[in-house]
């Protein structure tokens, strides 16, 4: 099948799950140890995708249609795939991405009630069916996630962070559905643990999956 080469690992979870900091710390350590990979984030990761990200997250865009939002996420993802991910994966390299297609399934499909099947369709077009080999799911009760965000004093809240808890609960429930549906690629991390523990678990899982992959491609 097309684009089955390389190793693609995504990190997923609700806002405030500590996903991004655990991932950055784990990846910095792996880099120090000599591992070579690209760490990127969604929405964004290149000039065009960053511009699309700014439109989506702009607090002034209150009248943005939810289908427009879903298409913009898919467009940003497509650009990242075409410009960076596919060339690396086709060259049998390793890519780790902070959020990927499951964010759209959870946030737009479940959170915004657009339906996971509809969102899957537009995203299949965007990613040419290249799902991650592994998805690290940072599992945290959404209420705790929101509590963490608001207790971080002085943090700039974006439009999406301001949404109500009911939205985040739907996103979380969506992730739990995806975890069942895609159980063979989902790896759950208990994000209610301390930052150090979450980071260490992230590091260990990434190292194991990368080592397995490198042993196979040798």
Binding stretches for ligand TYD (CB under 6 A)? 15, 20, 42-43, 73, 99, 103-104, 107-108, 158, 160
The answer to whether residues 124 and 101 touch, using CB atoms and an 8 Å cutoff, is no
Q: Where are the beta strands (DSSP E) in 18-64?
A: 38-41
**Cβ of residue 218: shortest distance to ligand TYD, in angstroms?**
33
What stretches of 58-164 show up as alpha helix (H) in DSSP?
Answer: 66-80, 86-90, 101-104, 116-127, 142-151
**Cβ of residue 216: shortest distance to ligand TYD, in angstroms?**
29
**Cβ of residue 214: shortest distance to ligand TYD, in angstroms?**
28
Tally Cβ neighbours within 10 Å of residue 169: 17
> Which residue's CB is nearer to ligand TYD, number 15 or number 179?
15
Question: For ligand TYD, which residue has the nearest CB?
Answer: 107
Task: State the greatest distance between any 2 C-alpha atoms of the chain, in Å, as a whole number.
Answer: 52
> Which residue's CB is nearer to ligand TYD, number 37 or number 107?
107
Instruction: Give, in degrees to the nearest 5, the angle at Cα 69 between 67 and 73.
Output: 115
Handedness of CA 95, 96, 100, 102 (dihedral sign): positive
- How far apart CA 15 and CA 116 sit, in angstroms, is 19
**Cβ of residue 25: shortest distance to ligand TYD, in angstroms?**
14
**Cβ of residue 133: shortest distance to ligand TYD, in angstroms?**
18
Q: Is the peptide bond before 43 cis (omega within 30 degrees of 0)?
A: yes
> Which residue's CB is nearer to ligand TYD, number 157 or number 217?
157
**Cβ of residue 135: shortest distance to ligand TYD, in angstroms?**
13
Instruction: Give, in degrees to the nearest 5, the angle at Cα 105 between 3 and 169.
Output: 150
Query: Phi and psi for 39 in degrees, rounded to 5?
Result: -105, 120
> Which residue's CB is nearer to ligand TYD, number 22 or number 213?
22
> Which residue's CB is nearer to ligand TYD, number 88 or number 105?
105
> Which residue's CB is nearer to ligand TYD, number 20 or number 46?
20
């Amino acid at each position: 099948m097309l684009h089955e080469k390389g190793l693609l690992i995504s990190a997923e979870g609700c806002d405030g799950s500590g996903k991004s900091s655990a991932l950055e710390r784990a990846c910095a350590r792996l880099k120090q140890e000599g591992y070579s990979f690209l760490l990127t984030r969604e929405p964004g990761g290149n000039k065009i995708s960053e511009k699309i990200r700014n439109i989506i997250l702009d607090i002034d865009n209150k009248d943005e249609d939810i289908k427009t939002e879903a298409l913009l996420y898919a467009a940003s993802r497509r650009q990242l795939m075409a410009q960076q991910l596919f060339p690396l994966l086709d060259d049998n390299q390793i890519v780790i991405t902070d959020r990927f297609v499951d964010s759209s399934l959870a946030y737009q499909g479940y959170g915004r009630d657009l339906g996971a099947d509809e969102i899957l369709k537009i995203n299949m077009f965007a990613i040419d069916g290249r799902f991650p080999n592994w998805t690290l799911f940072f599992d945290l009760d959404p209420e705790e996630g929101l509590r963490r965000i608001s207790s971080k004093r002085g943090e700039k809240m974006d439009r999406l962070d301001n949404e109500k808890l009911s939205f985040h609960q739907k996103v979380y429930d969506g992730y739990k559905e995806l975890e069942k549906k895609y159980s063979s690629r989902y790896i759950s991390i208990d994000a209610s643990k301390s930052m150090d523990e979450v980071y260490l678990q992230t590091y260990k899982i990434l190292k194991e999956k990368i080592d397995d992959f490198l042993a196979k491609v040798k």
